[in-house]
Amino acid sequence: MGKPDDDVIDGKAEPRFDRDFSYGKQGELLIGDYLEKLARGHGQVEVKRKRIIDLKFFVETRCDKGRRGTFEPSGISTTTATTWVYVIGDTGIAVFVPTDILRAIFTDRMTLNVACEQGNCPTKGKLVDFYDLILHLERNRANRGHWSREGDDEDDE
């Protein structure tokens, strides 16, 4: 990407519209892809009222519908959605996460097993820290040179 001083003029960052535009356009295409998946029913939206202060979010894996004493696979364990969207309360913030990436972090020691016993449908799942999700993704990229999608690596099962 050139010499370190190529991007600095008089001590200020030089806007590189040729690079910045291309990078920004890729981000726009990604968001467009996510919105299209949601519109086609290939996404799942989770609205979280809690966890506004920290970066942790709950990912449901099992539930006990009707409090029968039996937890069955649910949530991310059974979804066919390719993307999960976490809407954080009424902040106006939404985080889009490809389902395969979210599932892959479950093998990471940084995720915590948790249960929510409230209501008539207790749930179990993982408490995932957004920062740890990014670290997991970066480690995966560094180890493989790219992110492998679900099914590319048997270790992710």
User: Per residue in 20-38, pLDDT tens?
Assistant: 777 777 778 888 888 888 8
Residue 64 has pLDDT above 70, yes or no: yes
Residue 153 has pLDDT above 60, yes or no: no
- Site of tokens 């913030």: 93
pLDDT for the residue numbered 97: 85
pLDDT for the residue numbered 49: 57
More confident residue, 90 or 64: 64
Q: What is d(CA 51, CA 1) in angstroms, rounded to the nearest whole number?
A: 39
- Compute CA distances 92 → 57, 58, 88, 137, whole Å: 16, 19, 7, 25
Q: What is d(CA 113, CA 117) in angstroms, rounded to the nearest whole number?
A: 13
- Site of tokens 């979804």: 79
pLDDT for the residue numbered 152: 42
Mean pLDDT of 73-98: 84
